[in-house]
Amino acid sequence: MKKLLVIGLILGVAACAASGSAKPLVGTPGAKVATDFTIDLIGGGTFTLSNVLHDKPVVLNFWASWCPPCRQEMPALDAVARATPGVQFIGIAVDDVASNAAAYAAQIGVSYPIAVDEDYVVNDAYAVQYLPQTWIIDRNGTVTRSVVRAVTAEELTAWIAQDLGIKTGS
């Protein structure tokens, strides 16, 4: 009887662990669907994910001006954004002050829209716990890739080509 109890306990723990590993990143259970959001941009206007996805896929980058790896990757993100007009980039500063985020983005000369998620709405929707994070979202709203670390221009260019079928200059 003890053997059956132990086996049952082991199977129960294994089932819980297996179901936890299948948890989707965002969206509805069982799917990797990007959560729609609208956020105010630094400098005016708003960004709504679903509106942009009608025209092009999106590279969503979570960052902060105080985060050294975020600061390191931002010039690479901007270079790829400039070279790939067929993809919309957006940077969302998390746990940051708008004036600091704006100042750093201006110092780099970032060409893509920047927002500050002051109320952590987008941050929470995407369960961001570490910075930087970069998400690639196709035109159907499917998350094709999520990277939790600084990315290089070469990596990002390759992933955009692989995941979205878009090459630099397109």
First to last CA, the chain: 66
Q: What is the pLDDT of residues 105-158, one digit of tens each?
A: 999 999 999 999 999 999 999 999 999 999 999 999 999 999 999 999 999 999
Domain locations along the chain: 27-164
The model's confidence at residue 170, banded by pLDDT at 50, 70 and 90, is low
Q: What is the pTM of this model?
A: 0.81
Confirm or reject CATH 3.10.105.10 for domain 27-164, answering yes or no: no
Cβ-Cβ contacts under 8 Å for 108 (sequence gap 6 or more):
74, 75, 78
Q: Which amino acid is at 69?
A: P
What is the residue-wise DSSP string for 71-121?
HHHHHHHHHHHHH-TTSEEEEEE-S--HHHHHHHHHHHT--S-EEE-TT-H
Residue 87 near residue 61 (C-beta atoms within 8 A):
no
Q: What is the pLDDT of residues 46-75, one digit of tens each?
A: 999 999 999 999 999 999 999 999 999 999
